[in-house]
């Protein structure tokens, strides 16, 4: 299975709530740049999920522009404080070969650490507008291998 972890672009510092924070102009441009770099990989996404937060929705829009047939569902598990082990359990139960997750930190960095190192203590970092492709033959902590990372 290939799992694509995508962090939203740079967002404004303040809004009426954390969930309402939007991407800055720079965040939009960086996200579009990263998605353009991903297009040549011609991914065949079986399932795409995004956080319900505004900046994740805006990041998903950049993917829809280049991959208009890709439906992206909202999943509350992908909120910033989500449980990486719960997301990993969801991935294991999911019958997909390629899954795209658009989310935030600390969830994505913690999830990447668990997937690759088996622990959150390794403190792997997922930067803004980054896409990290992780291959997992067995969906379990420490069984992932980073295939590539795309940056803006």
Looking at residue 43, its pLDDT comes to 86
Q: How far apart are CA 20 and CA 132, in angstroms?
A: 25
Structure tokens at 77: 């598990």
CATH value at residue 139: 3.40.50.1240
- Interhelix angle 25-38/54-66, rounded to 10 degrees, is 40
Structural domain total, the chain: 1
- 29: containing domain: 2-150
Looking at residue 59, its pLDDT comes to 97
Give 74-118 pLDDT, tens digit per residue.
999 999 999 999 999 999 999 899 999 999 999 999 999 999 999
For residue 148, the surrounding DSSP H or E stretch is: strand 144-150
Residues of the chain with pLDDT under 70: none
Q: Do residues 8 and 59 touch, judged by C-beta distance below 8 A? A: yes
Q: What is the pTM of this model?
A: 0.96
Looking at residue 42, its pLDDT comes to 83
């Amino acid at each position: 299975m290939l799992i694509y972890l995508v962090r939203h672009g740079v967002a404004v510092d303040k809004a009426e709530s954390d969930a309402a924070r939007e991407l800055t102009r720079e965040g939009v441009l960086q996200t579009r740049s990263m998605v353009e770099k991903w297009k040549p990989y011609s991914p065949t996404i079986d399932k795409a999920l995004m956080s319900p937060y505004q900046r994740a929705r805006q990041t998903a829009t950049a993917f829809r522009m280049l991959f208009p047939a890709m439906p992206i569902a909202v999943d509350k598990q992908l909120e910033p404080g989500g449980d990486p082990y719960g997301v990993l359990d969801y991935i294991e139960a999911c019958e997909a070969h390629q899954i795209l997750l658009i989310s935030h930190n600390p969830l994505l960095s913690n999830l990447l650490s668990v997937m690759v190192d088996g622990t959150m203590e390794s403190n792997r970092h997922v930067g803004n507008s980054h896409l990290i492709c992780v291959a997992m033959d067995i969906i379990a902590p420490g069984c992932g291998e980073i295939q590539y990372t795309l940056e803006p």
